[in-house]
Amino acid sequence: MLNTERETTETLDIKFNDQGLVPAIVQDIDTGQILMMGWQNAEALKISLETRKATFFARSRKRLWTKGESTGHFQQIVDIRVDCDQDTVLMRCKSLGPCCHAGYQTCFYRQLTPTGQLSFIEDRAFDPDEKY
């Protein structure tokens, strides 16, 4: 399908990459904060739509995983959106706990300074070394 068709259609026709994956952003629907970005294959997107729990394809472990399956910190989907050329997914979620395995509410806990260094700007919700 042409990009222009993808932009104007009501038919879902995700443009998966050559590994069959599409980037999927998670946004906290209450705070507006971007919590994480993962990758979905067609099945992960289908399961997310059906279960309303944000589900991804873990590229390193090569398996489906539902965010929160081991911690209970699920991301409950309120709505799913796709972008113009259907190569990015956005899931707006009710966050049931800190999203990042490093112990922060969001994975984006560092800011790039003008000199090109990273500055930690978020408070940690838990210490992963103590928790696991």
The whole-angstrom separation of Cα 63 and Cα 44 is 10
Number of residues that bind a second copy (CB under 8 A): 41
Q: Is 61 in the site for a second copy (CB under 8 A)?
A: no
What is the b/e burial string over 62-93, where b = at least 16 CB atoms within 10 angstroms of the residue's CB? eeeebbbeeeebbbebeebebeeebebbbbbb
- Name the residue among 6, 7, 65 with its Cα closest to residue 36: 65
Query: Pattern of binders to a second copy over 28-47, x per CB under 8 A?
Result: ---xxxx-xx----------
Q: Is 124 in the site for a second copy (CB under 8 A)?
A: no
Query: Pattern of binders to a second copy over 78-107, x per CB under 8 A?
Result: -xxxxxx---x-x---------xxx-x--x
Match 């289908």 to its residue by tokens.
46
The whole-angstrom separation of Cα 48 and Cα 56 is 8
The whole-angstrom separation of Cα 20 and Cα 31 is 31
- CB 112, min distance to a second copy, A: 4
Given candidates 61, 117, 130, 132, which one binds a second copy under the rule CB under 8 A? 117
Q: Which is nearer to a second copy, 13 or 69 (CB)?
A: 13
Q: Which residues bind a second copy (CB under 8 A)?
A: 7-12, 23, 25, 27, 31-34, 36-37, 49, 79-84, 88, 90, 100-102, 104, 107-112, 114, 116-121
